[in-house]
Amino acid sequence: MIAAFDIGTTVIKGALFSEEGNFLKFASRILVASDAGKTACYEADTDRWKSAFAEITSELLEGRSSDGLRAAVISGNGPTLVPVGRDGSFLEPVMTWMDRRGIVQAGKIKELQDFYIDPTFYLPKALWIMDERPEIYERTEFFLSCPESMAFWLTGEALTILPGERFEKYFWSDELLGGLGLDCRKFPDFRKPGCIAGKVSPKGASESGLPAGLRVVSAGPDFIVTLLGTAAVYPGRACDRSGTSEGINLCTKKYIEDPRLMGYGHVVEPYFNVSGIISTSGRALEWIKSRFGRSGEGFTDFLRDTAKVPAGADKLIFLPYLAGERAPHWDPSARGAFIGLGLNHGRDEMVRAVLESVGYAMRDVIDVMTENGAQVDELRITGGPSKSALWNQIKADITGRKILVPESTESELIGNLVLALRALGDVDSIAEAADKILRIKTVFEPDTEKGKVYGEYYQLYKKSYLNLKDIFAQLNTIA
């Protein structure tokens, strides 16, 4: 058996798998990310990470002997930065991938390397801690990402997973760290996804419930394992990692370098991965549900009447930039906006506009990919929002691509399993293993007539952002 864990932004999930890829048991716990009471501040509660992990371990192993457990494998959200103290404790603040406090620091980094790193990435956050929380910086022995920090908690071994070739520019180099005045010793050595981080220590065993001596595989960031968990392992296949954010990751034969996207080596060699991350997609739906949802209303009921609203949301457009935006704009000042709001619009039209806005944002990213010669044949979707047939169809209609829904949308956990099987020496090809384990349940074909309607709104969507960009920036300067 293999135990797989994924630490998301709002949920931590775990599963027991057989070596053949069958789910033996699944468990999850809710996590809550904090905005720390200020704009651009998003922090995580690592005590809750640990307690939830232990609760899930207990549930997975209930009634089972751990003797047959061969490894635990961990992935997680990123780029979330965890300062780890000299005593092994996790220090605060733990800045999640949504945190944008390091805008000034991102500017300093660009001056040194002439390459812009968004404030949400690791290095601007570490530099912000040095500048703004010097006492925390001095107490920090290691800066780790979310999944690597959990592997450290279990094993006491520190490492950094580098997702792929040419990814160093999104992380750091000794030269860059020195130029910024950062201590290189606080940044552990790079390792490949799916490496064995170490074995569960006696302390890790007592706190997590996993048996001491169990091998721990560090899978790395969630988007890497999702590529494997959706079998987006051959050129033309793209993964739509839907959740709090939306990640479009495309497998390509050639390396694509465009500042609007992220390009680097695919976990499956010799291919490459070109990626565009949309900051607040599922989070935008959560936001509008929190404002307009009725007491006790689930997402299914909340969206039921939205399906009756025609394409275009009765001439209403929404910009989903509630926490700034990453690809393709990389604009931390961007904010959400309803365009064309009138007295004729109600809850259902506004919700429909939010759903459609994610499709427009996805098309914005895909268009940049195709401009660079990439071929996007299909989108393999995963995550909580993939359970909505309405949203899947909207995405297919707007992007003009088929949306493939796997039988299991727990793609992070399946991808973790694939990496663990390779780490244990059970498989030679992770691409073949992923393709064998994954099964597609439903395919949503694009509606060409609705696609024509959406094409007009998409052009207005893009113009709306360009016309509001300067206003967003000015708003950001007001005290």
CATH number at residue 320: 3.30.420.40
Tell me, yes or no, whether 275 and 371 share the same domain. Answer: yes
Amino acid at residue number 277:
I
Both 67 and 45 in a single domain? yes
Please check whether residue 321 is in contact with residue 334, taking contact to mean a CB–CB distance below 8 angstroms: yes
The closest of 93, 265, 280, 247 to 170, measured between CA atoms, is 265
Give, for all 479 residues of the chain, the pLDDT tens digit.
999 999 998 899 999 999 888 999 999 999 876 655 566 899 999 999 999 999 999 999 999 998 999 999 999 998 999 999 999 999 999 999 989 999 999 999 999 988 888 999 999 999 999 999 999 999 999 999 999 999 999 999 999 999 888 888 889 999 999 999 999 999 999 999 999 999 999 999 999 999 999 999 999 999 899 999 999 999 999 999 998 889 999 999 999 999 999 999 999 999 999 999 999 999 999 999 999 999 889 999 999 999 999 999 999 999 999 999 999 999 999 999 999 999 999 999 999 999 999 999 999 999 999 999 999 999 999 988 999 999 999 999 999 999 999 998 899 999 999 999 999 999 999 999 999 999 999 999 999 999 999 999 999 999 999 999 999 999 989 97
Q: Is 104 inside any structural domain?
A: yes
User: Among the three residues 158, 186, 220, which one is the final residue of a domain in this structure?
Assistant: 220
Residue 261 belongs to a domain: yes
Residues 162 and 276 in one domain: no
Q: Does residue 205 sit in the same domain as residue 176?
A: yes
Q: In Å, what is the CA distance from 358 to each residue of 236, 287, 317? A: 21, 14, 11
> pTM for the complete prediction?
0.86
**Domain contains 326:** yes
Verify that 241 and 385 share a domain, yes or no. yes
pLDDT of residue 160: 97
* Same-domain check for residues 139 and 235: no
Same domain, 49 and 169: yes
Note the pLDDT of residue 407.
92
Among 220, 241, 260, the domain boundary falls at: 220
User: Is there a domain that residue 432 lies in?
Assistant: no
Residue 289 and residue 393 share a domain? yes
Q: What is the pLDDT at residue 221?
A: 93
158 and 267 share one domain: no
Task: Tell whether 366 and 330 lie within a shared domain.
Answer: yes
- For residues 209 and 250, state if they share a domain: no
Listed residues 220, 254, 270: the one ending a domain: 220
Residue 415 lies in a domain: no
**Based on the structure, what is the number of domains in the chain?**
2
- With respect to residue 189, please indicate whether it lies within any of the assigned structural domains: yes
Cα–Cα distance, 459 to 451 (Å, whole number): 12
Domain-located, residue 434: no
Domain that holds residue 21: 2-220
Residue 102 inside a domain? The answer is yes
Residues 30 and 134 placed together within one structural domain of the fold: yes
